[in-house]
Amino acid sequence: MIIGAGVAGLWLMRRLAAQGRSVVVLESRKIGCGQTVASQGIIHGGTKYALTNRLTGASESIREMPARWSAALRGEGEIDLSGARVLADHQYLWSQRSLPSRMTTFFAASVMQTRVRALDRAHHPTLLAHEGFSGSVYRVEEMVLDAPSLLAELAAAPGAAVLRIDESQLKLESAAGHDSGDGVTVHFSDGAGRRAALRAGAVVCTAGAGNGALLAQSGSKPQAMQRRPLHMVLVRGPLEHRIYGHCLEAGSRPRLTISSHDWDGQAERRVWYLGGELAEQGVRRSRIEQIEWARREIASLLPWVDPARLEWDAFLIDRVEGAQAKRARPDEPVIVESPAALFAWPTKLAFAPLLADRLIARVNERVARTAAGELESLAHWPRPEVAQPPWKEQRQWHTFER
């Protein structure tokens, strides 16, 4: 039983189903709602560690992730994601000034040289080919995915069921200990009077913020997870150029991260989705203050972008992770174990395959034999829809007078 149908839960579902396990996923809202669909779809491969000049075990782990995602997207990997949409097979790093020497040295090192390369002006992306730009541009071989199509592809797994449930009626009833072999009974309801109880050999909670209530219910400390908010910004309008990448300065995080999204193929309604340090520091600002700050950032960094007819919005989203000392961001996925369940947070979208590896090892310890369960009784249970990206939700778009 997997509770939470984001990228972590669905990747694990696909892997377990491929092993012949009987898998049920429970979701109280929409598939991928929250962190997964609100992500920028970037499959990081460790380039961000250039900003802090750190080469650690964590950076080595994340270096392997793009290759695993690429194989899956070709239909040749551990799962088949060939139907998911790739927005871009690369990104850009750019700076208005020359990058600090420690960064360029890092990029030149053997660990990064196959993934990052400097571009001469003739090969700059069109947005950064303007005569007003005189900085450095690097091309990074790290892909960007369309989150809704990824979620739809992940959820389409034979031999597994994704069910919509009433979160308030979810209850875990564990045996005396997980080594007893009796497993955990999971009680749930569809919110319309239908109830069910399934006994699972192992329960894995990948519900993001929803893990908090489940931790408390299982007798574990809710302090095992932490929330670190972001204040993301949306810009909509006749934006001429697509761009995927990060504007760098001397700090440890990108000053601005931009991903581009066409709204149902309409170029007149293209969306730029803005994150990076703008979103990190923006949690201290009101919605209007954050929009105004973002507008000034675009005017400062990309002054040739015409602000006419652009619409803006901002919203808060929690990053929910395994707790760390001083609320630092984890370098890797985090798993917390209790007798009733395994609680897991991938930390980054890119880490979903690595988290699945580690969870499968724990599941195999709890459920030694592979068994195909009967799911016919759930055939008519309601299924959740795939969540829409933030720009397609009902929003209050803000415009500025010229």
pLDDT, one tens digit per residue, over 88-121 is 999 999 987 766 555 554 554 444 555 788 899 9
Least confident of 104-113, 228-237, 351-360, 378-387: 104-113
14's enclosing H/E stretch is: helix 7-18
Strand, helix or coil for residue 263: strand
Q: Identify the pLDDT of residue 96.
A: 79
Residue range 80-84: mean pLDDT, rounded: 96
pLDDT at 176 over 70: no
CA–CA separation, 171 and 115 (whole Å): 46
User: Could you give the count of Cα atoms lying within 13 Å of 13 in the half-sphere of its Cβ?
Assistant: 29
Q: What is the mean pLDDT of the chain?
A: 87
In percent, how much of the chain has pLDDT > 90? Answer: 64
> Which of 127, 214, 177 is closest to 339 using CA atoms?
177
The 8 Å CB, 24+ separation contacts for 48-51 are 48/254, 50/103, 50/106, 50/107, 50/112, 50/116, 51/103, 51/248, 51/251, 51/252, 51/253, 51/254
Whole-angstrom CA distances from 100 to 17, 45, 106, 108, 299 are 47, 21, 10, 13, 23
Pairwise pLDDT comparison (279 vs 375), residue with the higher score = 279
pLDDT of residue 327: 82
Whole-model pTM: value is 0.92
- Residue 10 structure tokens: 């669905």
